[in-house]
Structure 1
Amino acid sequence: MTSPEGGTKRDLVRRHVEDMIGAGLSPHERLPTERELAETLEVNRQTVRGALDELEREGVVYRLQGAGTFVSEARISKSFELTSFSEDMRARNMRPGSQSIDLQVGAAGQTVGYALGLSPREDVVRVRRVRTADDIPICLEESTFAAASVPGLEGGIEGDSLYDDIRQRFGLVAVRADQEIHAVVLDEEQAAALQTPPFSPAFLVRRTTYDARSRPIEYAESVYRGDRYSYQLSITRP
């Protein structure tokens, strides 16, 4: 059965809840009960429950048994395009930043050396940062470059965007990347840095970035909070 406004009655419930959230309900604020929503919209509770099930699967709301349905924290959705963290946040009208920056020079080691085509003994510059969006910690990021390709980077990053800095100062332009994504949980140190409980779900992203000539210029490992970050894919049938 359809609602007078078009669409199903379940769509009507969805729109009503989404409008309530858009009108100013804060994250973790409780929604009206299923009974109250059913009475307000003149639908049955099964219809309300079905709409809330959909919204919960999409991360819009969450439920606590015996307590009710609550507004979820907004997630930052990342599409599969090669963009920097700063570019991602600005595209979503959020302010990118870093809570801490640690730059060190040391031996590449086996993993980084292999990714960058270096001897394990060659020097690299490691840039470790806690990345934030509107001052909320989102990601632990470690980017590594061959020291010879970024002379002086260990002295500090100029601006918020590392990709902008290495392009302007060293002529390194990221064109494509090979990337792996793994589901992990945060250890206690990572959780403290991201201001979230230990053993919370997270994404571990390993990425090797290449220039236009397919030369590796960066190896990066980033850990994203699972409750504040998601990946969006567009797929087609062959």
Structure 2
Amino acid sequence: MAAIEGVTKHERVRRHLEKVIDQGLAPHEKLPTERELAESLEVNRQTVRRALDELERDGLVYRLQGAGTFVSASRISKAFELTSFSEDMLARNMRPGSLSVDVGTAAAGQTAGYALNLSPQSPVVRIRRVRTADDIPICLEVCSIAADTVPGLEDGIVGDSLYDDLRTRFGITAVRADQEIHAVVLDEEQAAALQTPPFSPAFLVKRTTYDARSRPIEYAESVYRGDRYSYLVSIARP
């Protein structure tokens, strides 16, 4: 790798890797190890690691603990439409899934109770899932639904789409939602679940979903990786 005046070693490594990725590495293709890159580019591993850190921060690569560094797919863009995660991924020819699913009953608490018009002590079915696209963790999702509206849901979701399950098993159809989006950083637990470094940028999406009679049916808080997800807003002059 030729030296360039005024450009640091790690920046040269970064530019080299960007060029290699642009010239034909496929999404999710594995990069050489840090040691292999250091040897082939004649730099130390710390320089390679710093370049990879920057590429990961910018969403060009991602790391899986114990597996290596891989080329990222294009960032997933989400329009403001009421669709499920599974519907979003299928529309992009990506395979939706769940890395882990935890379903049980709990007290609603203040936030979910307020959103669902329940007392904080009222029971809800709480669903915690790590959602994936083509096996890559994208979103950590926690949903709350009034327990008396979904008897038996605590035993598990059928399939990947909660909205499909609510419609087919319980006759509950989501028609609209109120949604807030906040910029956050991942804490250590969230980062571990999403297989990304702690304090990485993310979106926190709070959503209350309603049926056709404007009754709240679900309150969800979802944390999306900032390097893998974006929101698209179409606007027009009045």
Distance 1:193 1:105, change over 3 A: same
- How much has 1:119 moved relative to structure 2? 1.3
Q: In the alignment, what sits opposite 2:236?
A: 236
TM-score by length of 2: 0.72
Q: In the alignment, what sits opposite 1:187?
A: 187
Q: In the alignment, what sits opposite 1:225?
A: 225
Q: Flag as ranges the 4+ runs of structure 1 deviating above 4 A.
A: 27-30, 59-62
AA at the equivalent of 2:131: R
Q: In the alignment, what sits opposite 2:125?
A: 125
Query: Could you say which structure has the larger radius of gyration?
Result: 1
Q: Is the 8 A contact 1:73 1:227 kept in 2?
A: no
Deviations 1:22-55 (A, max 9, x none): x73346999xxxxxxxxxxxxxxxxxxxxxxxxx
Secondary structure of 2:222's match? strand
Q: In the alignment, what sits opposite 1:116?
A: 116
- Percent identity over the alignment is 76
Q: In the alignment, what sits opposite 1:175?
A: 175
| Aligned mates of 2:72, 2:84 — CA distance in 1 | 25
Q: In the alignment, what sits opposite 2:157?
A: 157
Query: Where does structure 2 lack aligned partners over 5 or more consecutive residues?
Result: 1-17, 32-57, 62-70
| Aligned mates of 1:179, 1:202 — CA distance in 2 | 16
TM-score by length of 1: 0.72
Q: Is the 8 A contact 2:59 2:227 kept in 1?
A: no
Matched, 1:101 2:101: yes
- How much has 1:92 moved relative to structure 2? 0.3
Q: Is the 8 A contact 2:60 2:72 kept in 1?
A: yes
- How much has 1:124 moved relative to structure 2? 0.3
Secondary structure of 1:102's match? strand
Q: Is the 8 A contact 2:84 2:161 kept in 1?
A: yes
- How much has 1:121 moved relative to structure 2? 1.2
| Aligned mates of 1:153, 1:140 — CA distance in 2 | 19
Query: Where does structure 1 lack aligned partners over 5 or more consecutive residues?
Result: 1-16, 31-58, 63-70
Q: Is the 8 A contact 2:107 2:122 kept in 1?
A: yes
| Aligned mates of 1:103, 1:24 — CA distance in 2 | 42
Q: In the alignment, what sits opposite 2:92?
A: 92
Q: Is the 8 A contact 1:131 1:140 kept in 2?
A: yes
AA at the equivalent of 1:154: E
| Aligned mates of 1:189, 1:233 — CA distance in 2 | 30
Q: Is the 8 A contact 2:97 2:160 kept in 1?
A: yes
